[in-house]
Amino acid sequence: MFGLFEKKSPYAATFGKGRVVMISGCKDEQTSGDALKIDKYFGLPDDVGAGGAGGACTNALMQILHRQNSETPGYDGTWGELILDLRKGLATAANEEGKKVFTQIPQLSSSFNLPLGEKFSIKSPESKRTKALLIGINYGDRPSGKLRGSHNDVKTMRQFITKMGFEDKPTTLKVLMDDGDKATDDPTKKNILSALKWLVKDAAPGDSLFMHFSGHGSEVDDINGDEASGKDQTMVPMDFDGKNGHIIDDVIYSEVVGKLPEGCELFCLFDCCHSGTIMDLPYVIAVTPAVEKEIEKAMGSGQAMPGMQDSEVHANKIVDGKRGKEEEMQPQLAERQEAPASGMSLHLIVIIIAVVVAIAFGTLGMGSSQSTLPTEGTSRPKEEQSRFAFFGNRNKKL
């Protein structure tokens, strides 16, 4: 019945009730950066990570978590303070000319109504067992769309989580990388799906699980009508074929989130494009200007943030089977755009923009595709490569 388990789990009745928190590198509509020289932007201690290239979100987070001590990383603040720190860290990163290079806005989401005033933690001190899955894909065999830092991200993350108390042995930590090393499995679609099942197999109350993905992310047409945007977010395995072979958010939710019993914790970091809701978690934290002000006020005073446990303040919940119903999305929309000056509705403006973009794509001869990804390097400094790839009938393919 449950597919994943060799025998029925004793926690089957509580599946889907685990405590899942995810940080993703950007909003669904954004691309995520790959920094060619992470030390130039994030200044990690010499003994932290592999150096060289790396994902912007992964290394901005590592900078924050190693800020006080590289030997004993951690964060003394709350989830609200962390996401604000992470966003500011990326927004202020600049090259030698002082030019800001990262436009992505990291997202925080959860499977439950996460209070922003709750203390940050990726592993409960009372954990009975740990398990971790690390996936890094550089797409080295592809003619284009290669990344340089995904393997480094995995090495950095492996070092970090072991310091945080996650066991580093074959039964508790699995690594997938396209590095040709026989000690690690290739991150093919088949192997990634198998690894997701491995991560949650026999999950029990009191377990602390961890997952990190560093690679390409994309979007494809929604297959079951549960997305208000009409798009499913995807992980892109090393063996994808154009617009085929992606792992969509519906699958990630059903194979991971839906298999966790109550009392089990999972923290995930997705450092890839279009990753804001890549796990289809029901709560997407909306850090509006008002909420940001409350967080900053609390950071300055050391007091708890008032009202931050109210889902109407900071979370977007699934309504009528769809994520992102208009009234639920308003807090997020207020974060990035002001209300139209005219009486024209937001829906109409979105439709007009979509038509103009569609005409532009048609005029440029880009053809049809399920993916909405720009050409590599477009509108980005040379120091930063976007974590997107080309799919479908575009000008070039991976």
Q: Report d(CA 172, CA 202) in Å as an integer.
A: 12
Closest to 86 (Cα-Cα) out of 267, 301, 308, 271 = 271
Residues 6+ apart with CB under 8 A from 311: 113, 283, 317
- The identity of residue 189, as a single letter, is K
Determine the length of the chain. 398
d(CA 391, CA 398): 7
Q: Residue 314 is encoded by which pair of tokens?
A: 């900071």
User: Could you report how far apart the first and last alpha carbons of the chain are, in Å?
Assistant: 38
Separation between Cα atoms, residue 301 and residue 280, nearest integer Å: 35
Q: How far apart are CA 297 and CA 217, in angstroms?
A: 35
| DSSP structure class, residue 21 | E
Radius of gyration of the chain (CA): 20
Q: Using CA atoms, how far apart are residues 52 and 35, in angstroms rounded to an integer?
A: 9
Pairing of strands 217-221, 247-248: unpaired
SS3 state at 208: strand
> Active-site residues: which are they?
216, 273
Strand partners, 217: 235
User: Concatenated DSSP letters for 103-159?
Assistant: ----EEEESS---TTSBP-SS-TT-SEEEEEEEE---TTSSS---SSHHHHHHHHHH
Which residues make Cβ contacts (< 8 Å) with residue 6, sequence separation at least 6? none
